[in-house]
Amino acid sequence: MTRENLIQFIRQRNSYLCVGLDTDIELLPPHLLKGSDPVFEFNKAIIDATRAYCVAYKINTAFYEAMGAAGWSIMEKTVAYIGKEHFLIADAKRGDIGNTSRQYARAFFDTLPFDAITVAPYMGKDSVTPFLEFPDKWTIVLGLTSNPGAADFEMLSTSNGLLYEQVLKKVSSWGSPDNLMFVVGATQADSFTHIRSICPSHFLLVPGVGAQGGSLKEISLKAMNDDIGILVNVSRAIIYASSKEDFAQAAADAAKAYQQEMSLYL
């Protein structure tokens, strides 16, 4: 998906909502567990309930990889069910030496037709650039995350500033705003103005709104650029809005509420 396509989806739907399909079989409504394929049935119901209110879906691959071959099959079916009218993110956080990264890219861009994959930049340029070689695909590099452990490395002081700032500056030169995004956690709202001074044109994938407590209003006001430039991911607050048989309607209501608030900031 091109940058122009993504921006068009955002403007058409008055939404920059990304729904996270972090589907944990242990958290599914009990009545679904009676079926033969409960995770996929749950995903289908959530997708049907939310597709009108979001522009993207993010599949956290760990929840599927943990189920082995069956999980990969569910992930494939889920991607196919979503279709081409939404931006598809593989939240896989890959990154390795060049030839290995190239195989990861093939897995998630060719075999599984995702539009984007999250990548860890710790091993440097040769571990990231293989993902950037695929046309109309996006590499979403970890920038400043919202977990407590972000302080261990990302916030370390260097002679040229904080480490995460150096990551943003250096990685920005490896790709362009047409194929490169950064992950910036919503709980790091105070840093967004500064981050925009480093990478003013890039899209930012922003997790942490909802169950983690990030403020949608604050993020929207501080992180948007002229092309909107943000995708706000919400997972648990939408897909687990109810644990009962009304889970799909509850997810729709939650997604619609986020979309309606987003429309105020566009």
Confidence of residue 209 (pLDDT cuts 50, 70, 90): confident
Catalytic residue among 44, 77, 93, 222: 93
Residue 220: name the closest of 234, 206, 240 by CA: 206
- Long-range CB contacts (< 8 A, 24+ apart) of 109-112? 109/134, 109/137, 112/75, 112/76, 112/79
pLDDT score of 211: 64
Question: Among this protein's residues, is 93 annotated catalytic?
Answer: yes
High-pLDDT (> 90) share of the chain, %:
93
pLDDT mean across residues, the chain: 96
> What one-character DSSP code corresponds to residue 71?
H
pLDDT over 80 (residue 213): no
Domains by residue range for the chain, with CATH: 3-265 (3.20.20.70)
Question: Please, are residues 179 and 221 in contact by the beta-carbon 8 Å criterion?
Answer: no
Residues 6+ apart with CB under 8 A from 4: none
Confidence of residue 178 (pLDDT cuts 50, 70, 90): very high
Residues 6+ apart with CB under 8 A from 220: 230, 232, 262, 265
Residue 172: name the closest of 145, 146, 195 by CA: 195
Mean pLDDT of 88-101: 96
Lowest mean pLDDT among 54-63, 152-161, 183-192, 241-250: 183-192
Name the token pair of 135. 């046309």
Mean pLDDT of 86-102: 97
Name the token pair of 176. 């362009």
